[in-house]
Structure formats: structure tokens, C-alpha cells
């Protein structure tokens, strides 16, 4: 990939997930700077609101703890919650993109992780619409 190539929204979302994954593993609190405004704003938005985002997730997990989620799944769900709560992106797009990222980076081919992510995000969507 060349430096001058514009990233598609899908590629931008993947970069956001990778950065959130990295921040979670490293427990880093350093400032994040990226030349792509969407990536920069998304990563920093999640990090800025991480406590609220995690509380929303915790409140909507059924028989599950947030620390039991894999780093990848936690990054995907955190980003989806950020978009659902803090942006005007339609929930259908947010959930669909999160499920696509789960299929690509987390699911082991049995669709269990996709189903889990879908259920959690559907619970959150209903919770946020109240």
C-alpha cells in the first residue's frame, strides 16, 4: 500500500481496531496522533470515553465479564459502542461493520463470536434507544 493511497472506510475501521487492540494490550495512555482524521478522532474518542463505553458494555453483557473478552473482541465492541453513542453513524452500519471485523479478526469459522458480538451490540442498541 502506498502512503498516498486513500483508505476506504473499511480500512480506516480496521486501523482503529488495531490501534485500540494495541492500546489495550500495552495499557498505554500516551496521546495518539494519526494523519487520517477519521482514525485519529475515532481512536482518541474511544480512549477519551473509555470508562463510559466500558460501563455501557458491562451493563449489557449477559453472564459475561468485560475482562473475559479477548483483546480483539473488546476493541471491536468498544469502537462500535463509541460509534453508536457518540456519532451519528446509523446503528445498522455500525453493527454490520463490527460483525464484519469480528468475522475477519476473531471468529473461528463457527460464527459463535459473530453471534455473541451481534447479541451484545443489539442489547446496547436497545439500551441506548431508551
Q: Tens digits of per-residue pLDDT, 62-89?
A: 899 999 999 999 999 999 999 999 999 9
pLDDT tens, residue by residue, 20-45: 999 999 987 778 899 999 999 999 99
Angle at 127 between CA 98 and CA 25, to 5 degrees: 45
The verdict on pTM exceeding 0.85 is yes
pLDDT tens, residue by residue, 4-18: 578 999 999 999 999
**Measuring CA to CA, which residue among 61, 66, 65, 56 is closest to residue 24?**
66
pLDDT band at 98 (very low <50, low <70, confident <90, very high): very high
Give the pLDDT confidence score for residue 4 in this predicted structure: 52
What CATH number has the domain spanning 9-129? 1.10.940.10
**CA–CA separation, 51 and 66 (whole Å):** 12
Amino acid at each position: 500500500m502506498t502512503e498516498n493511497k486513500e483508505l476506504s472506510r473499511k480500512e480506516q475501521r480496521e486501523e482503529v481496531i488495531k490501534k485500540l487492540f494495541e492500546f489495550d494490550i500495552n495499557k498505554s495512555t500516551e496521546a495518539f496522533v494519526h494523519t487520517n482524521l477519521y482514525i485519529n478522532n475515532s481512536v482518541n474518542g474511544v480512549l477519551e470515553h473509555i470508562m463510559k463505553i466500558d460501563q455501557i458494555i458491562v451493563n449489557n453483557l449477559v453472564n459475561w465479564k468485560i475482562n473475559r473478552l479477548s483483546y480483539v473482541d473488546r476493541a471491536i465492541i468498544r469502537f462500535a459502542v463509541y460509534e453508536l453513542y457518540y456519532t451519528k453513524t446509523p446503528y445498522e452500519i455500525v453493527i454490520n461493520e463490527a460483525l464484519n471485523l469480528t468475522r475477519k479478526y476473531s471468529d473461528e469459522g463457527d460464527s459463535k463470536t459473530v453471534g455473541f458480538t451481534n447479541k451484545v451490540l443489539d442489547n446496547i442498541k436497545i439500551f441506548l434507544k431508551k
